[in-house]
Structures are given as structure tokens and as C-alpha cells.
Amino acid sequence: MGRFLLRRLIGQGAEATVWLAHDPRLDREVALKLRHEPLAKGEMDAWLHEARAVGRLRHPHIVPVFEADVHEGRPYMVFEWVPGGTLAERLRRGPVPWREALTMACDVLDALQVAHEAGVIHRDLKPSNILIDAQGRARVMDFGIAARLDARGQAVGGAQGGAIVGTPGYIAPEAARGEPPGPAVDVFALALILAEMLGGAPVRHPASDPAQAMRRAAVELVVLPESLGERADAHLRAVLAQALVFDPVQRTASARALREALANWRDSAEGGEAHSAPMPLEGPSTVTGAGQGTLDFLWRRMRHKSDFPALGEAVARIHRVASDEQANLSSLANEILKDVALTHKLLRVVNSASFVHAGGGTIGTVSRAVALVGLSGVRNMALSLVLLEHMADRSHAQALTQEFLRALMAGMLAQSLGQTPQEREEAFIGAMFRNLGRLLVGFYFAEEAREVRELAERVGETRAAWRVLGVDYETLGCEVVRRWGLPASLQQVMRAPAGGPPARRLSAPPERLRWLASAANELADVLLAGDPAQAGARVEAVAARHAPSLALRPESVADAVRQAREQVGDFVQASALSLPGDSPVRQWLNAPTVTALADEAPLDLALEATALPPDALPDPGEPTLRLPQAAQDGALVQSLLTAGIADVTQAMVNDQVDLSQVLRMVLETLYRAVGFSRVVFCLRDAKSDQLTGRFGLGEDVEALCQVFRVPLQVPAGKAPDLFTAVCQRGADTLIVDTRTGAIAEALPDWFHRTVKARSFLVLPLTVKQVPFGMIYADLLPPHTLALGEQVLAQLRTLRNQAVMAFRQLAS
């Protein structure tokens, strides 16, 4: 075939055969894959284009493509010949030892990450496409049906959707439905392969009818087998479950993220800790955009303090034991007894009036408490107490206590509104932990939490959190729970559903649990708003809103509120909490009735961005941001920004923050990653009340700094220029073309005389809505800026880090 001599057939599939062949020109053995059928002209061009993309992949764990050609209309590819066998052949002998399985999985994920960064998706990853060489290394082969992605991560060519490509046992649900592929399909397949290596059998049961198997793969959730080997624990199951989430948006973010999570577990297991306490997931975050800097900074603070690392370990340990069907009473009791303070308070709670019916007020041991109240009931109380204990020693503990009790109220309301014992216990955790992000920010970033509360009165809490932190509280809490190693099912319940309650009856988790948690949090919010004795009508309003989906009756809601009031009161008393008389919780507990609710709508979880017209200034009101898509949103730009953000975060973790160093790192990351012509940092001058250029990078930047004078106040009757308007409103603004009429007129004279940029980006720095600085970055003609959402989000992260550096220095 061409110059290649076919030696013997070594594999055959539905679309092609694979031969061991000899290349006489280079005198080497190769593997040659030949399609059964010829391709049409249009199909051939697309195939050759994809073959070139695959041929450029270079990685030790990818079998390289040497050549691609056509023989009598039938395309073929020539690969390196790898002596050994496939993983499929190895699996016929039974499970793979856990160390070997984890090593091979990490090798494959390294290879996939390189392919994904090059815009190539494998989309048919399976054991027969993973070779094991003579050194025992896993090597990925057969990218012959790979999909290509453009710089924005969008499928191109024949991969744009419609065609179903893959193997039923390993295909992701979205791929089985013919949706455009992305990196998540390969992450899904690798998780199935690893589970099969550990357990010794395919996770999906093979079907005799391939079409039926594909239809099932498109709609069915993956359930991990009971056993994944002797060393697999709840934390490893959680890692795999996260990578197998049905919705690709909620799935593990990337091959790198899954690789790091598995490596962390492997390191823990090799240290003999796999059965004791799950290690936090410290791999790359599922959070993208402006919140990544906030999350990384928060996580490092948590690791450097004695508070929440211990909390995370305790939460994960208690939740794992109580959720394990094989757990017994003593195993949970032993976990709780490790903490003397927790043991004491737990016994006080279970002997309170709320549980007098269970033990007659004479429960003296944790084991008996577990036996009488139940594994899940004690788990919920223990987690509540653990959460409270770690927040009781800060100067702002009173505000945190109020926030904690509001979260506890939500959990208890959800528990009372549940229909079955299992639903009640899971709803408690989901509803309470939905508030974890708010609690963490209040604990670690008291000033920012106060700023969010003040801004929330005008724009709502979700938008306020985005503006101040770059991430909403809910996402922050879910990411921390993921890093603690708690199951993906809990993370799903923690995420509030979008829109209003559905009109149909909900019966299946997690959707019903999510709405139950939402209803409970609505109740908690309105119970603590206004006069508790004047809200009977609002109780009925909440019940009516959720009645179609959750089958709530006004009387059941009233009963839930009454039970929650009793339980919270008992908890406050048993925990010896001191509440001021004017606190919302104290007023609610002392109210003669418990029907006080408010008719507030649920928070809008989506941060809305209004496009900034290229020919007009932003209207007063909400911050606006133009989000064009662009070549500057490529993988290289994002990776440089990510590396810079990590460096800045690491510098900020140090006790002695060098503000000048942090700011220069921020500007250097902007300048190098995106390729701006000039970047200038401006800071407020107290005497003139202007933002003035202080330092920067790029062409003639010293002269440029001298001309930047942005007044923060303008005389009455005089219109502000563009920079003043943008900074007064704190609006991240991208100007694509300064030549358009209204934009050109709004720019100050000094800009037209000296700066002369075609496109520029402005990132204001504000504290409590008051501007104190500005980052300016531009491109000189003839170039124009075109930044995608991913890059814009990362740029805002850098801006947020600069603001945090100022705040950290001030504190």
C-alpha cells in the first residue's frame, strides 16, 4: 500500500482495519489503519485537515501519526508501532492494581490535556485505543475520528453537531445525542475507563443492540459499581462521580483538573491515609473567569489558617461515615468523639426539647444519640456544630453567628418540608451548605462581605458578589465543597435552579432537592426580614409559589416554620450562644407567632452583561461590558493569564505583601499574555482628586503616564469624559474603535493628542463603589482589540487581585 508492506492484520473495527506494516524507506515497523470505504471529495478534504491537526500532536503518551494518505479512494493513517498490547487486552485478566491504574489514568490525562490545548478532541477514548508499551506506560492512539476546536473552543467542520461518534460503553451523554463535542467527552470516557480498571468490569453493561445502547447512553445517569477495589474510598468515588456528571457544564472542568484530583488522592493513599481522611481536591478549579483569583486566594488563606482546613476534614469525614450504607453506629460515634467540644454540645442538643421524645432527655452517650436520632440526623447536627465552632473566635463573630443561624434555619426548614426520611436529611445539608460561600467570605473577607451586603440592597446579592469578588457566593461554596471531596450530588443540590418554580410536580432528585433547598432559603430570608409577627400572608405566598412543584400546603409550611423555630431555639440554648436583643434571629425566636415571611423573589443567579454600543457612551446605571469574540482568546493567551494569576496569588499569600511587586506582576501579566501595546496603572491623587498615571509597560509609557489625568469629580453642568464616567460607575469597559462619533467626542483632548490608540480596555479599581485607581491597556493602530469572554474574565481577575492587594495592605 504505497511504499508500505502489510505484514499481518492486528485489529479490525466497524470502520477500519489496522495492519502491522513495514516502511522500507526508513526500515521500521509501523501500524497502518485503513478505512473500509472510500470517502467523498468533501469528506476527504475534511479528513485530511483533521489528520494534519492530529499529526501535529507531540507527547510521550500519544502515539504519533507519521503519515496520512489515500489508496484507491480509501484514506489511511500510519502510526508508530508500539510493541505490547492494549488496555482492553490487559482488562481481560481482571482488575488493574490501584497504583498502576492511577498512573496510567494520569498518563492518559496528560496526553488529553495536550491534545485539548491544541484544539483536538479524541471522542472515541476506550481501552482498545490505549496501548501499554514495554515499560508499562499508557499511550493514547487512534485520533482518526478526532474533532477539532477553534480558538474559542467551538467545534468546527464535521464536529459541529448532528453526527454521533463514539463507542456506546464509553460515550458521553451529550455525544450520544449528537451535540458538538468538547473536552468534557474525553474526561467522561477516561473516568469510565479508570472505574473499569479498578473494578475489573465495564461500568455500563454491554447491550446486544448497539443502537439501543447508544440511546441509553444519551439519557441514563452513570452509577458507579459498589466496589472499585480495596483501596478506593468515598473521596475517590467523589472524584470519579464529578467526572461522570450528566451535564457537561457541571462536569470536571478539564483533563488537567481530573489528573490533579486523582494525583492528590493517589498521594494520600500512598501515604496510608486513603481510609482515614479524604484529602482536599486542590486541582485546577471548575470556576472560570474573574472568580478564580478570589477562589485561589481564599483557598490559600484557608490552608494557612487553623480554622477551615480542620473544618473541611471534619465535614468530609463525618459526612462520609454517615452516608456510607455499610457504616455502623460506633463508626460515626468514634468520629464525633475525636472532638471533645463537639461531643459535649451534641449531647446537649439531643437532650433538648426537640428530641425529648426520642430519649426522654437522658441521652448520655454519642452512640445512643446515633441509635435514637439516626445516622443522618446526628450527622446534620454534628456538621452544624462543627461549622459554628470554627466561626466563634473572630471579632466579627456576631455577624457570622447570625449568618450561620440563618443557614441552619434554611436546613431545618428544608428538613421539615421533606416527604421521606432520606429526602429530609439530604435537603437539610443542601439547604444549609448553599450558604457556605457567604459564610466563608464573611469569615475571611469581612470588609468585602460588608461591601456585598451594602451593594446587594441596590442590585441583589448575586450581582453584588460578582462586582466585589468576581464570583457569586453559591459557586464559591460549591467549589470549596468539591475541594473538600464531598460528593457531586451535594454540589448539585447546593446550586439553586434558575428561573421560577416549575408548574409540574417534581418527584426525582436532584431537581426536587434543589427546589426544596430554594424554598427553604426563601423562607429563611423572609422570616428574618421585617416584623416577624406581621407576615402571615407572605407565608401563604411562598407556599403558593412552590405548591405545584413541591406539593406544599400552607399548613405544612406553617408547621415547618414552627418546628424550625423550636429547633433553632434549642440549638441556640444548647450551644450557649448569646444573641443581641435587636438581632433578627432573636426577634424571630421571641415573636408570638412564627408566620413571618417576606415575598422576595429568588436571587438571579446569572450575572447579566449589557453590550456597550461602539458608537455611544454607556448609559448611567448598570456596569456594561462589550464581549466580542477574538483571536486574542486563544489557548496560549489563557494559559499565560492563568500562570500570571497563580503567581500573583502566591505573592499575596505572604504575610508581608509588597504592593508594588503585586501591581507590577499584574501589569506584566496583562502586557505579555494579551500582547497590549501599552499598559498604564493610575492611582488617585488626594490633593487634586484625579487618577494620575504612576507607572506602566510598553512603548513610550513614561510619557504616557504624564498625560493621564482623570478627574473623579466634574463641575455641575459639565459632562464627564469617558474615563471619568467609566471610573465613577466602576464599569469594566472595552472600546473597540475610538474613531466612532460618540466615543471620539467623549474622549478627552489629551487622549487624541498623545495616546492615539485605536482600541483600549479600562478596568477601574474601587472600594465601596469609590474609585481609587484604574488599569488602562491599549493597542495602537492598525490593530483593534477583540477579546473573548474567557480572557476578559481572567483580566478582571487580575484587576480584583490588585484591589485585594490594596485591601490586604490596609488591613
Q: Mean pLDDT, to the nearest integer, of 744-760?
A: 91
pTM as predicted? 0.40
Residue with cell 441583589: 460
Rounded Cα distance, 431 and 684, in Å: 43
- Strand order across the beta sheet in which 138-140 lies: 85-86, 130-132, 138-140
SS3 385: helix
How far apart are the two ends of the chain, measured CA to CA in Å? 73
- Strand order across the beta sheet in which 16-23 lies: 5-12, 16-23, 28-35, 74-80, 65-71
pLDDT in tens, 478-520: 877 776 666 677 778 888 887 788 888 887 777 888 899 999 9
β-pairing, 85-86 vs 5-12, is: unpaired
Residue with cell 483538573: 257
The answer to whether 407 and 439 have CB atoms below 8 angstroms apart is yes
Give 698's strand partners: 678
Q: Convert 413-436 to b/e letters by CB count within 10 Å (16 or more is b).
A: bbbbbbeeeebbbbbbbbbbbbbb
Low-confidence winner among 81-85, 102-106, 656-660 (lowest mean pLDDT): 656-660
Give 767's strand partners: 770
Q: What are phi and psi of 73, to 5 degrees?
A: 80, -5
The answer to whether 179 and 136 have CB atoms below 8 angstroms apart is no
Q: Mean pLDDT, to the nearest integer, of 388-407?
A: 66
The reply to whether 186 belongs to the active site is: no
pLDDT in tens, 303-323: 444 444 445 555 555 665 555
Cell of 20: 502491522
Q: Mean pLDDT, to the nearest integer, of 126-147?
A: 81
Cis peptide before 510 (omega within 30 of 0): yes
Q: Does the pLDDT value for residue 761 go beyond 50? A: yes
Rounded Cα distance, 8 and 1, in Å: 13
Q: Does the pLDDT value for residue 703 go beyond 70? A: yes
Of 175, 166, 206, 169, residue with least CA distance to 191: 169
Cell of 57: 500532536
SS3 505: coil
Rounded Cα distance, 751 and 349, in Å: 67
Rounded Cα distance, 519 and 526, in Å: 11
The pLDDT score that the predictor gives to residue 460 is 85
Residue, of 530 and 524, whose pLDDT is higher: 524
Rounded Cα distance, 394 and 388, in Å: 12
Q: E-strand spans in 192-274? A: none
Tell me 779's DSSP state.
Answer: E
The answer to whether 803 and 769 have CB atoms below 8 angstroms apart is no
Q: Which one of the listed residues 23, 107, 110, 124 is annotated catalytic?
A: 124
